[in-house]
Structure 1
Amino acid sequence: MDTQQNTALMRALAEVPGPLPTSGVVHITLPHTERFTVVGNHLAQNAALSTAAVGFAVRIQSLPQGTEVGIKALAARFPEGEKLIAAALRELEAHGYLHRTRVRLPNGRMVTRTVFCNHPEALLRPRPADASKRGPALVAAPVSTQAPALVAAPVTPHVPAPASVPAHVPAPAPVMPHAPLPAPESLETPAPPPVTDRPVPAEPLPPAPPAPRLVPPPTAPKAPPRPLPQPRELTPGLQQAAVALLSDLRRHAPELVLSEADIERLTPATATWLERDAHPDTIRQALTTDLPQPVKYPAKFVRHRLTVLLPPPLPGTEELAPARSRTVVIPLQTCEGCERAFRSRTPSLCRDCRTACEQPAA
């Protein structure tokens, strides 16, 4: 049996103007009259975006205003998983197509406001002054590079009067173009331009101030990475245990394959965990749980977790003991007069001897 041919497709191919290419794709472009979305080539052919990010950008752009576009909402609507959707939304957010901010409502509840821009580069271009008064334009109209010419006032051509005009009929007055009233001589105003048949070119408008940059530049300086933790003393026992733990990671997570140079560089940080009484199983679980897919740079990933998730040192027994109220005990002293014992902070006489010494003096 011969291959079934699509009659409509063959008829549409026959109507394509010009010769068809010998290889590659052939476009059959039919005009849309309903249910369509305009997508720019800056998005469809963006080499910096993944195919998933471009696809979700088109899907979000085609949704009506007010539709939920969170990770769980998109996962419930489309067959992709939450991890792929989250990665695609992060790409769109990094390139300026998607903006997510936390906003507090009048009732005090915090919500996430999602804004999607179909052409973020157009926001950075300067706009005319009158456009800024109307607000941001949703559709950019083509702007001519030449300034529009001013239309001069119509000039009535001179018509010669007839040779014989009756005395009772007045001659028609010539029609003069409308001119503004002259200003007082005290005010210095420039003379109006002469009315001619040629158009007068308009004065160029001052350049509009540059619009604020809404998307951070790709070359923005990044914060320096945190230094790698270092133990107080790298003993041979700690070093051997750290090397064994790092070398054994690929048994529990095949993505974390480290080279000998990487293990040597990450050994002090692992020894710091062991020095702070962290169990090897705890360290292994912290390094292998919830791994991204795929792990492009295992050494950098392990370094990041060893630095960020480093636990503090365990407190000592004295720090954990509850604070006790201290009782002040005044020591015993021997009276220098009667040799009787009494409590005093400094050696002196007892109360009776002091009283007896003060009475003769009085």
Structure 2
Amino acid sequence: MAIQHPSSAPCAPAPSRPYRQARAGYGKRSVPDQPLAQPADFALLPERERYVAGYVDHLPDGAAMDIKSLAKDLPLYGQMAIGTALRTLAVAGHLRHVRCRVETLGQSRWVTRTYWSRTAHDNEWWTTHLAGEASGREGAPLQKASEPPAWAPAPQEAVCAPAVPQQRTTSAPAPDAAPSAAYVALARLGRTDPRLALSAEDCAVPERLAGEWFARGVDADYLTQALTSGLPAQVGSPVGFVRRRLTDKLPPRLPEASAPAGPDAPARRLLVECSECGRPGPADAFPDGLCRPCRAAVREGAGAPGPAESELPGARDIHALVGSMRNLMRAP
């Protein structure tokens, strides 16, 4: 009897209870037109990645497949190992992490989905597929394009360069003036995570930078998630930390936001997440599921990993596997 693979990999456990269900709008999303499952679907992957991929492939759409949920269901590996395996599967062409803006019950919010393909695909295929998802091809909830709000800065204004305001006051808005959406979002950061609690004066300092995020089409939920995700154990200067993230993670300006096709033209916002650091951006800017800084780090680390890199468990795994994954995808 022929052996499917020379090495023995543990089989993904068959669940004895219902799958963990993600929150509405989140979770796994299978790509269409997939071939039937075969025993050798993931035979070219390393042992750990075959184990994780075999389990994820059997999950139904809408099931939770975040790192914490998978680590609870797969007893052989912890969260760091699961995270490295998911990054490797993204490089191999099996998945992409995507943030999608949807409307439910009259409210607009950002959800995080993981698009999964049993067959590994190259970057061009993923870019084309996600472009179709962004146009609402599958009939998912759509978002109506709208003009930027009145408080948003004009597109030609430079907001990233330091500028002296017309008035030197940095205090909170006057009681008779309604605060901007950017100010309100910054003021609520401390309620989401106490490490980013800002005073009234602190909120006024980065308000202009936050306003540029809203001008580029994001909402308060997206801004809060981008500022509070992956926080260090201690934040010495919350206002400095927030200003740095507002500058470093500024989302791109989408062309359709500045020139909508018509007053009722639907537009669905969709941003791909870097599988390494979580930075959002357009699909074509994330070859192999990695942003430019992470790709550069992978290329440098693949040649000669330094001492700091070797101290991180699983860090060398992803760096060493990136090259081999590309070669395997080119194989017939």
Tell me whether the two structures share a fold, i.e. TM-score over 0.5.
Answer: no
Question: What TM-score does the superposition give when structure 1 sets the normalisation length?
Answer: 0.26
Question: What TM-score does the superposition give when structure 2 sets the normalisation length?
Answer: 0.29
Q: Which structure would you say has the larger Rg?
A: 1
**Higher helix residue share:** 2
Higher relative contact order (CA 8 A, sep 6+): 2
